[in-house]
Amino acid sequence: MPLRDYIEKAKEVLDKNWTGEYTVPSVHLYPHQWNWDSGFIAIGYSRYNMERATRELLHLFEAQWKNGMLPQIVFNKNALGRYFPEPDFWQTDLSPNAPKNVLTSGITMPPIHGYAVLKMYENAREKDRLIPFLKFIYPKIIKLHEYLYLERNPDDNGLIYIRHPWESGMDNSPMWDPVLNRIDITKVKIPEFERKDNKIIDPEQRPKDIDYKRYIYLVDIFRKNRYDEKKIFEECPFIVIDPLFNSILCASNEALVQIADIIKEDYKKPEEWFLMTARAVRDNLFSSEKKIFFAYDYIQKELIEVETAAGFMPLFGGIASTQQALKLYEHLDSLSFCRLGEKNCFAIPNYDKKKKDFSPHNYWRGPVWININWMLYQGLLRYKFKQKAEHLEITIMELPMRFGFYEYFDSFTGKGYGTKDFSWTAALFIDLAYDMYEKSEKKWETRSFGKEIILNINGEHLPVEDVEEIKKDFFCLTGKIIEKYTRNGTVNYDAIRLSPEYKLLQNTISKFANKDILKFDSKEEEMAFWINLYNMMVIDAIIRLNIQGSVKEIEGFFTNIKYRINGKDYSLDDIREILRKFGDKRVPFALVKGTNSSPPLRLFTKKNIKSKLNSAARDFIRSPEVIILPEEKKILISELFRWNEHYFKDKDEIINFIKKYVKDDTKREFLDKEDDIEIRYLLYDWTLNG
Which residues are within 8 A (CB) of 285 and not within 5 positions of it... i.e. 6 or more apart? 159, 241, 243, 246, 293, 294, 295, 296, 303, 314
Residue 364 Cβ, how far from ligand 9WN at the closest point, in Å? 6
Q: In angstroms, rounded to a whole number, what is the distance separating the alpha carbons of residues 572 and 594?
A: 12
Q: What is the DSSP letter of 213?
A: H
**Is 398 part of the annotated catalytic residue set?**
no
# chain residues binding ligand 9WN, by CB under 6 A: 10
Among 6, 10, 22, 25, indicate the residue that binds ligand 9WN (CB under 6 A): 25
End-to-end CA distance of the chain: 26
Four-CA torsion 122, 124, 127, 133, nearest 10 degrees: -90
Site for ligand 9WN in 474-513 (CB under 6 A): none
Four-CA torsion 235, 238, 239, 244, nearest 10 degrees: -160
106: contact with ligand 9WN by CB under 6 A: no
Site for ligand 9WN in 56-85 (CB under 6 A): 72
Taking residues 118 to 157 in sequence order and writing x for each that binds ligand 9WN by CB under 6 A, - otherwise, the string is: ----------------------------------------
Judged by CB, which is closer to ligand 9WN: 365, or 634? 365
Residue 39 Cβ, how far from ligand 9WN at the closest point, in Å? 10
30: contact with ligand 9WN by CB under 6 A: yes
Q: How many C-alpha atoms does 326 have within 13 Å on its Cβ side?
A: 2
Task: Label the pairing between strands 453-454 and 561-565.
Answer: parallel
Judged by CB, which is closer to ligand 9WN: 45, or 166? 166
* Amino acid identity at 213: K
Residue pair 44/77 in contact (Cβ under 8 Å)? The answer is no
Q: Which of 94, 31, 21 is nearest to 62 (CA)?
A: 21
Q: In angstroms, rounded to a whole number, what is the distance separating the alpha carbons of residues 113 and 71?
A: 12
Residue 85 Cβ, how far from ligand 9WN at the closest point, in Å? 9
Burial (0-12, 13-18, 19+ Cβ within 10 Å), 184: exposed
Judged by CB, which is closer to ligand 9WN: 75, or 166? 166
Site for ligand 9WN in 159-188 (CB under 6 A): 166, 169, 171
Judged by CB, which is closer to ligand 9WN: 133, or 406? 406
**Is 171 part of the annotated catalytic residue set?**
yes
Q: Name the one range near ligand 9WN by CB under 6 A: 32-40, 61-69, 181-189, 587-595.
A: 32-40
Site for ligand 9WN in 410-469 (CB under 6 A): none
Q: Which residue is nearest to ligand 9WN (CB)?
A: 25
Task: Label the pairing between strands 292-293 and 286-287.
Answer: antiparallel
574: contact with ligand 9WN by CB under 6 A: no
550: contact with ligand 9WN by CB under 6 A: no
632: contact with ligand 9WN by CB under 6 A: no
Using alpha carbons, list the distances in angstroms from residue 152 to 242, 251, 448.
Answer: 12, 18, 60
Burial (0-12, 13-18, 19+ Cβ within 10 Å), 59: middle
Q: Indicate the length of the chain as a whole number.
A: 690
37: contact with ligand 9WN by CB under 6 A: yes
Among 93, 146, 177, 197, indicate the residue that binds ligand 9WN (CB under 6 A): 197
Residue 33 Cβ, how far from ligand 9WN at the closest point, in Å? 9
Helix runs in 407-565, H state only: 423-441, 467-485, 493-498, 500-511, 523-544
Residue 310 Cβ, how far from ligand 9WN at the closest point, in Å? 12
Residue 450 Cβ, how far from ligand 9WN at the closest point, in Å? 58
Q: Which of 61, 60, 66 is nearest to 92 (CA)?
A: 66
Among 6, 18, 34, 298, indicate the residue that binds ligand 9WN (CB under 6 A): 34
Task: Label the pairing between strands 302-304 and 408-409.
Answer: unpaired
Catalytic residue among 171, 242, 540, 685: 171
Please give the biggest Cα pair distance in the chain. 93
Instruction: Supply φ then ψ for residue 190, to 5 degrees.
Output: -115, 125
Residue 36 Cβ, how far from ligand 9WN at the closest point, in Å? 6
Judged by CB, which is closer to ligand 9WN: 308, or 532? 308
Residue 660 Cβ, how far from ligand 9WN at the closest point, in Å? 40
Catalytic residue among 254, 352, 398, 407: 407
Among 18, 22, 36, 512, indicate the residue that binds ligand 9WN (CB under 6 A): 36
Contacting residues toward ligand 9WN, per CB under 6 A: 25, 30, 34, 36-37, 72, 166, 169, 171, 197
Active site members: 171, 407
